[in-house]
Structure 1
Amino acid sequence: MPVFLKIVDMTEKEILLANRKNLRLIDQIIIREKENLTNISSEMPCVVHLNNMQHLGIEQMNEFGTSLLRLSHDELISLGENFVKNYLHPEDVKL
Structure 2
Amino acid sequence: MLNKTDFAGRRAAYFEVAGVQETIDQAVAVTKPRGFVVVVSIFPQPIRLDIRKLMNAGVRIATSIAYSRQTFQQTVDLVTNWPTQGRTANYF
Where on the TM-score scale, by shorter chain, does this alignment land: which range? Answer: under 0.3
With the length of structure 1 as denominator, give the TM-score of the two structures. 0.26
Q: Rg larger in 1 or in 2?
A: 2
Structure whose residues are more often helix by fraction: 1
Structure whose residues are more often strand by fraction: 2
With the length of structure 2 as denominator, give the TM-score of the two structures. 0.27
